[in-house]
A and B are shown apart, each in its own frame.
Chain A
Amino acid sequence: MTAPMDEKRFLSNFVGLEDLIAPVINKFLEVSPSLMDQIRQSIAAKDPEALRRCAHSFKGAVANFQTNTCIERARDLERIGEEKTLDSAPAAFRLLEEEVTRLAPILTRIAREYQDRK
Chain B
Amino acid sequence: MNSKRILVVDDSDFDRDLFTKVLVRHGFEVTQARSSEAALEMIDQNPPDLATLDIIMPGTSGSALVQMIRKKFNRIQLPIVMTTIIDSPDSIVECLNLGANDYIPKPIHFEVAVMRIRTQLQLSELSREMGRLKQVEAIQAMITTCHHELNNPLGAAMCTVQIMDEEGTHDKELISNLKKSLDRMSGVIKRIYALNNQEHLVFENYANSTKMMKID
Contacts and interface: CB of A to CB of B under 8 A. Distances in A.
Interface of A: 13-17, 20, 23-24, 27-28, 31, 53, 56-57, 59-61, 63-66, 75
A61 B25 CA distance: 20
Contacts of B128: none
Nearest to B25: A17
Contacts, number: 49
A31 B58 contact: no
At the interface, is chain A mostly helix, strand, loop or mixed? Answer: helix
A4 to B, nearest CB: 15
A63 B14 CA distance: 11
Nearest to B58: A53
Contact of A63 (B21, B25, B85): B85
Contact of B17 (A17, A27, A56, A60): A27
A65 B58 CA distance: 24
Contacts of B13: 31
Nearest to B113: A13
Interface of B: 11-15, 17-18, 21-22, 25, 56, 58, 85, 87, 106-111
Contacts of A75: 87
A58 to B, nearest CB: 9
Contacts of B110: 13-14, 17
Given A17-B25, A59-B85, A31 B56 contact: no
Nearest to A64: B107
A31 B109 contact: no
8 contacts: A13-B110, A17-B21, A20-B18, A28-B14, A53-B58, A59-B85, A61-B12, A61-B15
